[in-house]
Each structure stands twice: as structure tokens, then as C-alpha cells.
Structure 1
Amino acid sequence: MRRGLVVGKFAPLHLGHQYLLETAAAHCDELHVWVYSNPEPARMPAPVRAGWITTIYAQTYGPAIGTTPLRVRYLLPEADELPSNAAPDYVHREFVRRQLAALGVRIDVVFSSEAYGPGFAAHLGAAHVLVDASRARVPVSGTQVRTDVYGQANWLHPVVQAHFASPAYVQRVVLLGAESTGKSTLAAALARRFGSCHVAEYGRTLWEAQHGHLAYDDLLRIARRHRALEDEATPQARHWLFVDTNALTTLFYSYAYYGRAEPELHALAHECSTRYQHSFVCAPDFPFEQDGTRAPAAAQAAQQAAVLLQLGLLGISYTVLTGSVEARLQQVAEVLGCYNQIEL
């Protein structure tokens, strides 16, 4: 049996990687594919990356390309004591050699598209096949895709594209704060700045649709619909989905207006502790603007205190945003870090 080996980060898996795998499979009786990176790419760990390969090439009796079975294996930085991506080539070669020896697997040929391939194969006592090193057949690289995964989506299989439009990848960023603290303006500005989209406060939408009247039952309705709008917007978001308020706010108003709240509304509010990856609180550090729909300015301090109390009780970490819209945009950018690239 002729056994082949392909080792890579596959971060993310793109059509160039698939060309490499398919070429390798055409020359082997069995192809071993190892997926690893140290550090792991943000929001796409090794099990996910390996899962793309097994899903794309799934067959009745396991993943395969044509009649060549794939033996897909992923390794994790701590569990498998992976060398750093920055470690010398020899360290990586020796790591793989020891792993293969422990598994009792002998590799006959290594396939790669990189300059490290010949030396790596020689260290394993295997032949080497260089596949499309010039990227002439499939002109794409991992670096190119990571720089703008959404703009380069045409180089990704639909299975991989779906990951970057899913809650597993897109992070929810919620803006909280009292009335007239600039949440709505900032949510829209963040979506523009980050090239993504935002979810407006559904409570305000329903309030306007019902001409300024909200019944007790409307509060749970607001929380449910606002959550649904977040889910509907996620596939259109890029990296982050910016959300104007959440069920915590709705729970507060249920008590403020009616002195009670439905158990389901409590449950939705409690889920906010894990539903949002980043919480920002807009500070009331500019003049209160009464648009005819808000509580009196004197209530703003109590509202802000209630927001902070809820966050504290649920153990939700947050960042307070201050200053102008531009200043707040910069503060959010500093917390979120690089917003248009995948970092390794």
C-alpha cells in the first residue's frame, strides 16, 4: 500500500488546499491528512478545520477522494504538545516523525505546495511531490484568504463559507446603557466602520408601530423578536454583529412598567451572560436629548445604575464607552482588535 501524507493548518481550507489533497489522493492508496496549528486560529479550532475536510469528502464508509480513503487527524496545542508555528523546521519534522512512529504508520510520499516539503519528506524517509507551488492551477494562498475571508469567499467551498456566516464564528457585540446614551447611533456607525451589520432595538420599533403603547405581553414579544432578528442577521454579518440592547433591557422595562416579568423573559435575560462575546455600556456623558418618547432626564441615572447592576449580578464583563461617536468607535476597535483578518 502506498501511503501519502499532507500536513497543514488549513486556516481556512481553500480550493488550493483541495487541489493539493485531490492530487495527492490520485497518487495514493491511502492519504493521511494532519491538521494542526499553534497557536490555533481564532474561532476555527482544529476539530472544525478537520471537520471541513471530512464533510466535503464524506462517503458511505468515511471520508475519501474517489476510491482513496482519507485518514484525517487533528492535533491540539496543549493536548498534543504541538511545537509553535514559529519553531524551526527541524522541530516540526521531528515532531511529526515521532508521532508517526508512535502510531506505527510509515509514510511513502509527502505532498506539499511549499518549499519546506523536500526536507520534511527526507526527514521521514519518504519521497516528495510538489503540487502547484507557483499557484498557477489555483491562484490562492492561505495568507490571501485570511486577510479578507469574506472578500475571498469565492476560493472557499460552501461548507467552509457556511462556517464564517454562522454563530460559531460571528461574534455578537451588544451595546447597553440608559436612554439617550447614543446606542442606536453607535450601533449603526460600528456596522459601517467594520463593514458588517447591526440589529436595531426592536422594542423601539414595536413602540412606534403601536403608536406609543406597549402592553405587558409585549415585553416578552419584544425579547423573542429581538433575539430572532439577531439570528436572522448573523449570516449577513462579517466577523461581528452589532446589537442595540438585549433581553436584559427588556427585563428592566418589564419591571419598570409593570412590576413583574414572565419566567421566559427572565430566562432570555439570563442567557445574555453567554450569548454575547462583548458587552459595551454607553456612558451618559453628553446632554440628555428628549425626543418625546423617553422617560424624564432625571430617570437616566437610575436606568444606567440598573444596567450596571444587571451586568454585575450575572458576572458579565463589560467596557464603558465615553466621548464622541468617533472616540467610542476607536474604543470598540481597540477591544475587538483587528477586524478584517483571521489571526494565527
Structure 2
Amino acid sequence: MSIRKTGLVVGKFWPPHRGHQLLLEAAAAQVEELLVLVYAEPDSRDMPAGLRAQWLRELYRGVEVKDGPQVDQTPLRIFALSAEADGVPPDSADDFTHREFVRQWLQARQLRVDVVFSSEAYGEGFARHLGATHQAVDYERQQLPVSGTAVRANPAAYARYLHPLVAAQLGVVPPALVPRVVLLGAESSGKSTLCAALAEAYGSVWVPEYGRTLHEQKHAALDYEDLLYIARRHAELEDQAAAQAKQFLFCDTNAATTALYSYYYFHRCDPALQAMAAVCRQRYAHTFVCAPTVPFEQDGWRGPEALRSFQHGMVLMQLAHFGIPYTLLEGSVQQRVEQVRLVVDRK
């Protein structure tokens, strides 16, 4: 496949869905740089173009680590346009008006486009007006039969076509292939050990805490923006693991705990991360909290043992805040496995 220099995708992305992601990822794979223009007129009050563009940037942003390559190296340049700042024409305007608006917007910024990507009938004429070629992606919507209009009308019905980050902003959760069991708790409370034991007991798989992984990769130097990234990547890793899970998928930590650490370390939390935390009750079939009664193991990445009691209390407080029922686990690993079995095997 030959790589062309600059591509263009234009859309409302109201809200971004898997069909949009298919379009963007197919386009990004064929160009050195992909320009993405996000706008609508009239625009949404609840999720304006600036916010929709922010969600897209988060879906495709990477993170620099010292001991490995940047993750998600997708060459996207995402712009949010508005009627006030950019003179966006109304959605009801004719094709020529829309095409000429984009042409002039690009020209004013000395941006040249080589190929336009779209999943719509307007794509061919639009590309021709810009002096570019056109590449259609899933024009018949056979791969992903979804549209922004359908999602806006009934977000719950189309949740399966939404990335977990976007779905959470709409207060819905994509359906799970298997029930998800999440284990929470303070540092060194046995979550990882118990997740592994449960996965073995059920012949299934488990998802390690991605925040711990990135914490180590960045040598304990996490930035504020990393916390939302952690929640997003952890949700993606859960979705990937679900395809191999049997009976249950066991998860070490969730977005609610990630939000808790955002407040703990930075005294603030991104609204998108808050939304992901708020849907944890729907995302997980069962929630368990590991009591901090096992021997503390300092592995060089954890805080002092004295913090365990405080962290445990914060986890319980947050569960109460979100109204998430939970079961407290005590005793040895095997005893905790049996306690989990008593809950999840209940018909």
C-alpha cells in the first residue's frame, strides 16, 4: 500500500462511535498525516465540537515512556471548528457552500490535502473540489451499521458501537461478552494474586492493573493526563481479554479507583474520567474489596504500609458514593477464592 502525504476526514462526530473509529484508523494507516475537522451548525450544547474533538484526541493520544515506544502512534491532527470562530456554515447549506468553506479554511492555514476519506456519498465530489482523490471506507455500513443520529436517539441501544470512554460520557456501558468481576483494594492487599488465582480456578483470564504497568514504565513519574489515559487503556485491555474469557473476566482495579488516585495525587479529576468512574456499577457484574490484612510487601513502587488503612477507607467511601454494592474478602488466598465463588456462582 502506497503512503500518501496528507489525508482529510470531516464530520460531526456527534458523538464519536466505532464507525468513526473505523474511518479514522483506515485513513491514518494510508497517510503520513491525517487532518480531522469536527463541527456542526447548529452545534450540540451538551457535547460541543470542542468536547467531541477532545474525546477523539484522548482516544488516539499516546504516552511517552523511557523504556519503550510511544503507544497509539496515530498521525491525527484534530481541529474543532465553530460558527463563531471559523464561520462554519449551517448543516442545511448546499454542498458547494460546505465544500468551499473547507477549501478556504485549509487554504488560510496553508494546508494541502492529497486524499479525502469518507463513508458518505458526498465524498467523491468533496474531494474533487479540494483537488484531492477520494477513498471510501465502509460506504455501505456493512462492517459497522451505526450513525451519530442513531446513537443520539438511543445511546443504550447502540452502546456496543461506542468506545467505553465515549459510552461513559453518555451514561451507558457497552454490553459485555462475559460478566466482569472487579477486585479493588489498597496497595498490597492481594488483588493481583487473587485475580490470578480466580482466573486459574475458572479456566479464564484476568486483566492486570494498567496503572501499575504505566507507573513502572514511567518510573513513578505519572502526569495528570496519564490518569484518564490509564482508565481508557485499562478498559480497552478488558475488552480485548473478554474474547478469551470463560464464565467470568477478572479485573484488577477499575476506573473508579483510577479517579481516586487522580484526586489523591493531583487534587483534581478529568470530567471524562469521572464519567468512566460513574458507570462502574453497570460495567461490572460483581465488585469485591480485598481487606488489607495480608502481609505488606514493599516492592519499591508502593507507598508506605501506613497508607494501606487510609486507602482502604477511601475505596469504601467511593463505593458508597457511587452506590456500588460489594463483598469484603478476608483470609488466605484460597479462602478468598471460596468467598468469591459463593457470590458469583449463585444462580
TM-score (norm 1): 0.49
User: Radius of gyration: which is bigger?
Assistant: 1
